[in-house]
Amino acid sequence: MSMILDDAATKMAAAVSRTREEFSAVRTGRASPAFVEKLQVEYYGTDVPLQQLAGFAVPEARTLVITPFDKDSITGIEKAIQQSDLGLNPSSDGVNIRLNFPQLTEERRRDYVRVVKQKAEDGRVQIRNARRSARQELESLQKDGDLSEDDLVRAEKELDKVTHAREAEIDKALDQKEQELLEV
C-alpha cells in the first residue's frame, strides 16, 4: 500500500515540475533562454534540442544572444526559431544569433495567460490520472484480500490529501506566472 502511495506521490511531483517547466517557456516581457532551449533544431539530419548546440546570454532585458558551439549550425538554429510559434525574428552576424523580444501588447499578454491556464489544467489532469491509477491499484489489492476495507479508506484519504497539495502547488505557480505575465 505504501509503495503505491509513494509511486503516486512521485508521479504527481513530476507533473508539478513538468508544469513549472512549461510555464517557464511561456514568454513574458523579458528575454530568457527557457523560451528557446527546448526547440528542436535539425543538425546533420537529426533533431537536437537547441540547448545542446549553443550557449545563451542575456546582455539586456529584452535581448537574448545565442552562441552556437558549431558555426555550421547557425542556419539550422535560425530556421528552427523562425518556424517556432514564438514570433521572434533572429538576426545573425555569422558568430552569434540575436533575438530581440518586443514589448508585449495587452492582448498578447491575455493570450499568454490563457496558454498558461491551459498548461496548468494539463498538469492537474496528470495529477488526477496518477490518483486514478493509484486508486485502481489499491482497489485491486483490496479485492485480492491483501488490503482491508479500513486500510483502503485510509489510503484513499492519504491519496486525496497528496492530490490536493500538488494541485495547490500548480495553482500557486499559475498565480505567480499570471502576475508575471500581466506585469507591465
130 and 175 inside one domain: yes
Question: pTM above 0.85?
Answer: no
User: Among candidates 19, 3, 37, which has minimal Cα distance to 128?
Assistant: 19
pLDDT for 74: 92
pLDDT for 15: 95
**Residues 163-180: what's their mean pLDDT?**
94
pLDDT for 22: 87
127 contacts 167 by C-beta, under 8 angstroms: yes
pLDDT > 70? residue 99: yes
111 and 175 inside one domain: yes
110 and 145 inside one domain: yes
Which residue segment(s) compose the domain that 150 sits in?
2-24+105-182
Instruction: Name the band, by pLDDT with cuts 50, 70 and 90, for residue 33.
Output: confident
79 and 148 inside one domain: no
pLDDT for 29: 67
**Residues 47-54: what's their mean pLDDT?**
92
15 and 54 inside one domain: no
Q: What angle do CA 122, 160, 137 make, to 5 degrees?
A: 85
114 and 173 inside one domain: yes
Report the number of distinct structural domains present in the chain. Answer: 2
pLDDT > 80? residue 25: no
173 and 125 inside one domain: yes
